[in-house]
Structure 1
Amino acid sequence: MSDIETQRRKIDAYLLENLSAELDALNRYPIDPYSKWLYVRALEFYWTSSRALRSLRESVDQLRGVKKTELPDDLDGEVPEPAQKPQLLIDMTPTVRSGARTGIQRVVREIARQCALQGLGAPITIQDDGRFLRRYPVAGLSEEIEPEAGDILLLLDAAWNEAPLYPPAMRRMKEKGGTNVVAIYDILPLLHPPLFNRKVGGDFARWFDEIVRASDAAIAISRSTAESVVDYLSAAPSGKPLRVGWWPLGADFSKSAKGAPSAKAHRIAEGAPYFLSVGTLEPRKAYPAALGAFERLWAKGVDIGYTIVGRPGWNTTALQERLRTHPEAGRRLNWLDQASDADLHLLYEKARGTVNASVAEGFGLPVVEAAMHGAPVIASDIPIFREVGGSGARYFDLLAPESLAAAIEATLAEPRRSPQIATIGWRESAAEMVRVIRQADYPLRGT
């Protein structure tokens, strides 16, 4: 049996165990089957209805004359006119509409911010009527942008929940003689459907078929992700070739990290040594396996804390309950579900190390963020972490609490040293992304 097949079977077994825990959590309450069915449907509705509610709120704001603007610290000073022609139009519509600042939205905001400040391109939002509007005003230039021959539309944002917005915009670019490039963060809903709820999986598959396959090129956030796209396309060919490249993400925190950390973050940072995990609570992050490793250590008398920073996600009811009711909750086990950038910055700086237990990732931003802050990195042994962490991270067997516990003890036995992991800032990341796009540096090709 191949290593890939062994890992796939491990992941499937883990997902089955996770599903069983979710069902047990529901069965602990005296609810009739119909009510349980409604509860599950309500959870799915919660995760997929926020876009409609945000759009309604924005429409009301427009009628009232309220204009949504970026927070003052998003940009430093005046935005220059983009220096290069043809124009690079950088879509960030879903991020602007959601107001979110974590995960993919962090990447979109940082890349758009740096492209605007360096004059590398024009961040835009696409309106429901098809107009392209500058996100950041440029002195002497109109807010509305009219695409021209040779221009490039970069679909930078996570757009699977906004997919109907994009085909008309893409057709408009092609009619004007331009090209469409789509950014890909991962294709995990296609490769591991049980990791996601059905609505997300369906929306993602539709986005991939209608947007990615229709694009002229794709740019992924890692070589591993780029290769997975090519492999997937080759296994399900559409007849239209797609050129694929990649670029590395930045790891520094922008000025959004300024301000005072919360009292809880201070208490954790100034207390006993702790390890840190960062990311939404969702099945692919494998938090139950990570927590199992710390429970083994606590049972042996190892006095070490475990802190999780991440919003609650789907199919984690049992995990959330476990975190809130754990005997170590609020002591050696802490979960911050509303952490600010200032909180995260402080927690990275003071962490004894970081734990990245994911079964699948598109890049693994917490790995390079930890390295940027000088925190040792422990990561599950999956290809993307090997690509990003290289020899500077300590690896453990996938979904194996005993292997992770051994890695934690090995890290504790050493002085806290900054890992030798290559990192770049968002300024350099944005410049490299633009270079790949403008030079059409797409070495891979899917069909």
Structure 2
Amino acid sequence: MTVGTTSAPSIDVTVALAQRLRSAADAAIAQPPARADEPAEDADACLAALVARLRDTRDPALAWLVLTSLAGAYPMAEDVRHILRRVDLEDTTDLTLHVLDRADTIASEHASVRRHAVVTTGVVVDVDMCARHPFHNGIQRTAREVVRAWSTEHDTVLTAWTSSAGILRTLTPDEQELAARWDDSLRDRPASETDPDDETDIVIPWGATLVLAEVPLADRCPRLAALAEMSGTRVVCIGYDAIPVISADLRPLGEPNGFASYLAVIKHAARVAGISASAAEEFAGFGAALSAQGLPGPVVSEVTLPATVPPAPEGWVRVPPARPLALAVGRLEPHKNHTALLHAAERLWQEGVEFDLRLVGGAGWDTTRVEAQLDRLKRAGAPVTWDRTLGDDELWSLLRTASFTVFISLHEGFGLPVAESLACGTPVLTTSYGSQAQIAAAGGCLTVDPRDDESVLAGLRAMVTDPDLRARLRDEAAHYPVRTWQDYAADLWTDLVEGGAP
């Protein structure tokens, strides 16, 4: 349920403050004060009732709520601790002054005192990146498919962050479409010329469940960590991977620090649903280490991502390419290991083995080495191409037509291109450990050690030169178990929101 209005933000500070405090009092106090006619009087009455209740209960969640409703932004953990210490030392008047002073400091940083609030005890879903940007890689695709399914089955509040990263807010209609009703036509949607902060309400979860459907940006994490620790709202997360810390050498400088901020949220989260057995193992390992801080850590489970693909067009018949076509789908980043693939391909071409190699994926954070390889191969006339972008229809057609796909990443949370290739009936050359090996166990794959150039070369040679091997793997891929996004979303809701095993 929600308490409060869903109107556009008021430009009157007193009216907005009264609305937020009234919403907080109605949510947190069994018998809130009678509503006063004047906004200032109603704000005073609600604040007095909330502070009196705080003195009686010494409840961290109530201190968090009072600060949030006054400031229009989430407090940090030290803000809440400061107020709780004042409860022990001061009378009601001095405590009220301290609450107002601390809230004013938070409000000054985030300029949010003119905002109306929605106080909700339901399920809030953070889809910040999905709502604000037409970026559609693995994490965004997962989050969008989940909220698309949930929106038809459950009552949820989809949210993004305010421009100052101070608090979650409701979505504009355009953002709602981008987050929950994605299709390929939205990739080129121009950025909105209006500030969404001017069109939306801030969201205060109270005894609610907050689902982190993405990995939040680092500047959001300290307030999220305080919310998870102190607000009384359950924070639950999809656990994608811990690559930035486990394979920090393969990621850009600074990313591990940002991920450490995210782990500060995870350590106070209630549940984490890993997208694969290996992802769950990574988060469970972190959770086990929290005993050193006297913390229980989150309950970690595995809710494996699905492999679902759109049906082939009516009447579609696979026409094998004239010579073997190896397809590699994924962003060009160091941990995706394209350099090893290109090295093996070059050695085979030098031996006179005939096949085509096609890379599909955008440029990642560092493509220096792989682009140098591609430039050299193209100058030598090697049959390799790189498509930075490709429409969904063309990509699915290519996945079905290719002789096989290659995905030999050094570290993955899941390996969606492997599962989707198999779901299209196309065999895969992939990694022999981690989540990729978990997918490969169902059949249709040849696995190699991606860190061993000779292993990669042997695997690529076998896939290119042995049509019987490809036929056997294609037959295995045809029996790959089907699991839909609706299945995944239902299991995820059971696990994260209802708190039970799917």
Would you say same fold, with TM above 0.5?
A: yes
CA contact (8 A) 2:166 2:220 kept: no
CA contact (8 A) 1:116 1:122 kept: no
Greater Cα radius of gyration, structure 1 or 2 = 2
CA contact (8 A) 2:428 2:446 kept: yes
Q: 1:251 aligns with which of 307, 314, 320?
A: 307
Q: 2:176 aligns with which of 136, 149, 153?
A: 136
The equivalent of 2:494 in structure 1 is 435
Q: 1:104 aligns with which of 131, 134, 139?
A: 139
- Structure 1 residues 148 and 290: alpha-carbon distance in aligned structure 2, compared to 1, 3 A threshold: closer
CA contact (8 A) 2:340 2:450 kept: no
Tell me the CA shift for residue 343 of structure 1. 2.9
The equivalent of 1:22 in structure 2 is none
Bigger drift between 241-250 and 355-364 goes to: 241-250
Higher RCO structure, 1 or 2 (CA under 8 Å, sep 6+): 1
Q: 1:396 aligns with which of 448, 458, 469?
A: 448
The equivalent of 2:364 in structure 1 is 313
State the Cα deviation string for residues 263-300 of structure 1 (Å, max 9, x = none).
xxxxx996643111111111111111111222232223
In structure 1, stretches of 5+ residues that fail to align are: 1-84, 259-267
1:314-353 correspondence runs (5 A): 314-327=365-378, 332-353=383-404
The equivalent of 1:47 in structure 2 is none
State the Cα deviation string for residues 210-244 of structure 1 (Å, max 9, x = none).
x1112222222112111122223434643211211
- How far, CA to CA, are the matches of 2:123 and 2:295 in structure 1? 24
- How far, CA to CA, are the matches of 2:225 and 2:256 in structure 1? 23
Percent identity, please: 27
1:274-313 correspondence runs (5 A): 274-313=325-364
Secondary structure of 2:413's counterpart equals coil
CA contact (8 A) 1:274 1:304 kept: yes
**When the two structures are superposed, what TM-score results if normalisation uses the length of structure 2?**
0.61
Tell me the CA shift for residue 311 of structure 1. 1.4
Paired residues, what number? Answer: 343
Secondary structure of 2:349's counterpart equals helix
The equivalent of 2:128 in structure 1 is 93
- Structure 1 residues 172 and 202: alpha-carbon distance in aligned structure 2, compared to 1, 3 A threshold: closer
The equivalent of 1:359 in structure 2 is 410
- How far, CA to CA, are the matches of 1:86 and 1:389 in structure 2? 42
Bigger drift between 399-408 and 378-387 goes to: 399-408
Tell me the CA shift for residue 185 of structure 1. 0.8
CA contact (8 A) 1:149 1:176 kept: yes
- How far, CA to CA, are the matches of 1:166 and 1:254 in structure 2? 36
1:38-437 correspondence runs (5 A): 87-119=122-154, 121-127=156-162, 128-134=165-171, 136=176, 144=201, 150-159=207-216, 162-168=217-223, 171=226, 177-209=232-264, 211-235=265-289, 237-242=292-297, 243-253=299-309, 272-327=323-378, 332-392=383-443, 393-411=445-463, 412-414=466-468, 415=471, 416-417=474-475, 419=477, 420-437=479-496
- How far, CA to CA, are the matches of 1:380 and 1:166 in structure 2? 33
- How far, CA to CA, are the matches of 1:330 and 1:114 in structure 2? 47
Code of the residue aligned with 1:221 in structure 2: it is I
Secondary structure of 2:335's counterpart equals helix
Tell me the CA shift for residue 164 of structure 1. 2.7
The equivalent of 1:38 in structure 2 is none
- Structure 1 residues 329 and 374: alpha-carbon distance in aligned structure 2, compared to 1, 3 A threshold: farther
